């Protein structure tokens, strides 16, 4: 039930501008807020048909910019402070190798957080 609830509400935005129910802040289930960030980070760090994967600095800036609006600001702070973004990027790189400049950035960041 928690997984279904998490998936149902993972497009809810922290500021209440999301869907399907326009939930906001702490009323959004925690699992949904986590899935929202995971889905967004995956999208930003992945090549898309319309653009190449974004670099870690761009993703970090976007997360900070969207904290409190799209994302739970406390989750963003934890992810950025604990090096979770860099570890996630390194894991994605292992699974889906991409262009050299992203690989170099991710590998360098991953080594700093081991």
DSSP secondary structure letters along 6-63: HHHTTT--TTS--SSS---GGGS-HHHHHHHHHHHHHHHHS-BTTBPPPPHHHHHHHH
**pLDDT value of residue 106:** 47
CA–CA separation, 94 vs 54, rounded Å?
16
Report the predicted TM-score, pTM, of the whole model to 2 decimal places: 0.79
Q: Quick one: DSSP state of residue 71?
A: B
CA–CA separation, 86 vs 6, rounded Å?
24
pLDDT digits 0-9 by tens, 50-70: 988 898 999 999 999 999 999
**pLDDT value of residue 105:** 52
């Amino acid at each position: 039930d928690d997984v279904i609830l998490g998936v149902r509400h993972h497009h809810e935005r922290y500021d209440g501008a999301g869907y399907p129910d326009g939930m906001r802040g702490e009323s959004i289930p925690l699992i949904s807020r986590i899935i929202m960030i995971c889905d967004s980070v995956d999208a930003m760090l992945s090549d898309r048909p319309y653009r190449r994967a974004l670099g870690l600095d761009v993703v970090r800036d976007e997360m900070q910019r969207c904290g409190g609006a799209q994302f739970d600001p406390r989750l963003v702070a934890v992810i950025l402070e604990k090096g979770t973004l860099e570890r996630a990027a390194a894991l994605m790189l292992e699974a889906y190798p991409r262009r050299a400049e992203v690989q170099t950035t991710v590998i360098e960041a991953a080594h700093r957080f081991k």
